Amino acid sequence: MVLVLLFLLLRLPLLFFGLPTTLSELHHVLVGERLHQGYTLYQSLYDTIGPLSGAVYGLLDMVAPKSYLAHRLLAMALIAYQAFLLNFIFNRNQVHPFKSFVPALLYLLFGSIFFELDILSPLLLGHTFVLLAVYSLTVISKEATNAGRLFEAGFMLGLAALCYLPLVWFLVLGFFAIIYFASNAFRSTLLMLTGFVFPFTVVLTYFLYQNALVPFLEQGLSWSWQFTFDFGLPIKQVLMVAALPLSILVLSFLSLPLINLGPNYQARFLQFMFIWAIVVVLVLISGHDGSAKGLILLLPLLAYFGLFLFGFWEKRFWVAEILFLVVAAGVVAMRYNPLGVVYHPLGIDPELVQVRDAPQYRQVQGERLLVLGPDLNYYQHNSLGSPYLRWDLAQPYFGRLNYYEALFTILQDLRKAPPTYIVDQKNLMPELQYKLPLVFQRYEKVDDGPFYRLVK
């Protein structure tokens, strides 16, 4: 109860009164709104988001339309659930020399270090299923009744990959878990792979019946492996945000030789966690989102290895207490930026990932928009009126207007339900009106700005 209270005290004030809306949240809300309207992901909405994450956003929009608060509350609940689930896994398996709630405490503390971790990201959704898979993998033994657990673990890893595809690397962790904790490695691996493939089979069948199988393969699967990073914050600023948790993780690694592990199982679990650290690096390299949200992947490592650092000072426990107070103060300072004296010296500019509420974004409100450009801020008071949410995915069409196939796709996408306004950031409307008059001649320019209004 004290941990929950501490977590709420750390999270709720900024959540309700001062948490800025981020461009990622706006993106997720627009995806959910579009799917709630009955459109099909990848076919009527071009995006690389995982199908399961898209389904969650659609359900949230059904329950609470365009509610950022609903997204943040669910994200907060998932962080808390992950912390206590991981703490339960550690205590049940006695992976530390003594049982405690310190892993959950560290998980909740570092999980609140920056406002981007309050976002209901596909990574956060998928990470929940990863921990559920670890829960199943760590209860298997040399008994013959592990088939259900192994299938369940693979199934959870499949759901994690359907939320955020780079999490497929955690299959490597599953293979090593079988080696460390199970017998008959070949049969156990087949069971886990069967569970992993099953949810993908269901999703492939769904998109096949929706005539969207090829778009799913192109956008939902192939695009995620292009290793193109979208840095909301520059890498230097991300490292500044991560400096405190990374420092604690390094100190925890340095304290390992001074710790006496008990049973053989604890030593094997330590090796298992080192493999986990390698998998985290692979996921971060493969992921196309280079923002501070990736710190979610470090939280289990901090929870596990951090206990060794804080438990090392048994005879001088006051050192651990002082160290924890310093860490807690650093987390609070990084989260709340008191008096604006933290971010500026560290060179952190949070406005780079926040929605900007400038006057030009309020010129049109409550309308269906198509933005010909990368600026999502125009959508904050409007809804998505076309499949083209991400400009990088629209480039194969609007960037190739000399090709008949690109023009035909644009025509098919917009002729039935054209947006009420078009925001032309790239000065493409004159060419579009000349080459696709059936759709774009119906728009007239509004004053001297980038807006075009549907009039016919």
> How far is Cα of residue 79 from the mean position of the Cα atoms in its chain?
12
Confidence (pLDDT) at 321: 86
Confidence (pLDDT) at 145: 58
For 424, phi and psi rounded to 5 degrees? -95, 90
DSSP class of residue 87 equals: H
- Whether 320 and 307 have beta carbons less than 8 Å apart is answered as no
Q: Kindly list the averaged pLDDT for each block of 10 residues, start to end, along the chain of length 456.
A: 84 76 93 95 93 96 92 94 95 84 93 91 96 89 67 95 95 90 78 94 95 91 69 82 93 82 78 94 82 91 90 71 90 87 88 89 93 93 94 92 94 93 94 94 90 91
Confidence (pLDDT) at 121: 93
Burial of residue 180, with CB atoms counted within 10 A of its CB: 0-12 exposed, 13-18 middle, 19 or more buried: middle
DSSP secondary structure of 307-369: HHHHHS-STTHHHHHHHHHHHHHHHHHHHH-GGG-SHHHHT--GGGGBPP--GGGGSS-SSEE
> How far is Cα of residue 68 from the mean position of the Cα atoms in its chain?
15
- CB neighbours of residue 301 within 10 Å: 20
Element at 423 (helix H, strand E): strand 421-424
The pairing of beta strand 421-424 with beta strand 451-454: antiparallel
Confidence (pLDDT) at 44: 93
Q: Which two tokens stand for residue 219?
A: 């956008």
State whether residue 143 is helix, strand or coil.
coil
Among candidate residues 394, 392, 51, the one with its CA nearest the CA of residue 220: 51
Confidence (pLDDT) at 229: 56
d(CA 138, CA 150): 10
State whether residue 205 is helix, strand or coil.
helix
Beta-bridge partners for 415:
none
d(CA 327, CA 314): 19
Confidence (pLDDT) at 175: 92
